[in-house]
Amino acid sequence: MPRNSQHSSRCWPAAQPQHQWTLLGHALDGHRRRGKCGHRCARDQAGGGHRRCLDDMSNLRFVLASASPARRSLLEAAGVTPEVHVSGVDEEGETGTPAQIALALAEQKAEAVADRLPHEPDERVVVLGCDSVLELDGFDGTAFGKPANVAQAVARWKDMRGRRGVLHTGHALVLFDQSQRRSRSELASAEVRFGHPTDTDIDAYVATGEPLRVAGAFTLDRLGGWFVEGIDGDPGTVLGVSLPLLRRMLTDLGLSVPTLWTHLGPLRP
């Protein structure tokens, strides 16, 4: 499908090699890319646990340009406490392939929040925007986001059952570092194999309201997980944030992931 907007060359470096590894017996596809600082660790024995201290980047703010509870929960579980700023970007107006739409919307969300985010001149701020779009086998590249209503969600699941699809998640970062503003955007994709829920299962699932709140009308880590047979790719891509991809993007911008760890639970031997 044609696309209305073009992106600057900063987002399109030379093609990167695909990587493969295995998880739970499945081959995992690598991420398609588009586009150091050191840290010291200290231990705090209080409460029987360990804490990493932040040093040279203690003033770094991490902002999530998304209202997604799943993305926020995933980041928090990974040690990052994000500020949440909803972008307000219209997700219905973008055209292109599902992969192009996911990446373009992620960029628009990150840029929209970055443009209006108040920050001090000497403050480091990183903004993450994400968007997920489902591409279902047999539907000629149609992009499936959130269902508009209950009837559409039911029909969607009847189309999805027994099929395979690819969940594309665009990731976009904007970094404010003193007087500089830099950005990176990349795409992660994972194949999803849907199960065969009955009509009764589908009606019950849609009645919970969950499919109406998420791209592709399904979740992996909640009720929708009962009806997903498996995935080929990074599970985080389906959940909404690919941590390995995000780590590489942050590294490209000169940020070390441990400096983002604002909270850690007790470390058990």
Q: Which residues pair with 84 in a beta bridge?
A: 64
Q: Which two tokens stand for residue 259?
A: 């400096």
Give the per-residue pLDDT at 266.
54
Residues 58-73 have a mean pLDDT of 90
The 10s digit of each residue's pLDDT in 179-237 is 789 999 999 999 999 999 999 999 999 999 999 999 999 999 999 999 999 999 999 99
User: Reduced to 3 states, what is the DSSP secondary structure of residue 59?
Assistant: coil
Active site residues: 131
Residues 71-81 have a mean pLDDT of 95
Would you give the distance in Å from CA 170 to the centre of its chain? 6
Domain map (residue ranges) of the chain: 53-260
For the chain, give the mean pLDDT.
81
Give the per-residue pLDDT at 119.
83
Asked if residues 80 and 63 have their Cβ atoms less than 8 Å apart, the reply is no
Give the per-residue pLDDT at 37.
37
CATH class for the region spanning 53-260: alpha beta
What contacts 24+ positions apart, CB below 8 Å, involve 25-30? 26/230, 26/231, 26/232, 27/232, 28/190, 28/232, 28/233, 28/234, 29/189, 29/190, 29/191, 29/232, 29/233
Residues 104-121 have a mean pLDDT of 94
Indicate if the pLDDT at residue 2 is higher than 90.
no
Give the per-residue pLDDT at 197.
98
- Proportion of the chain above pLDDT 90, given as a percent: 68
252/59 Cα distance (integer angstroms): 19
Would you give the distance in Å from CA 259 to the centre of its chain? 20
Asked if residues 250 and 182 have their Cβ atoms less than 8 Å apart, the reply is no
Residues 84-103 have a mean pLDDT of 94
Give the per-residue pLDDT at 179.
79
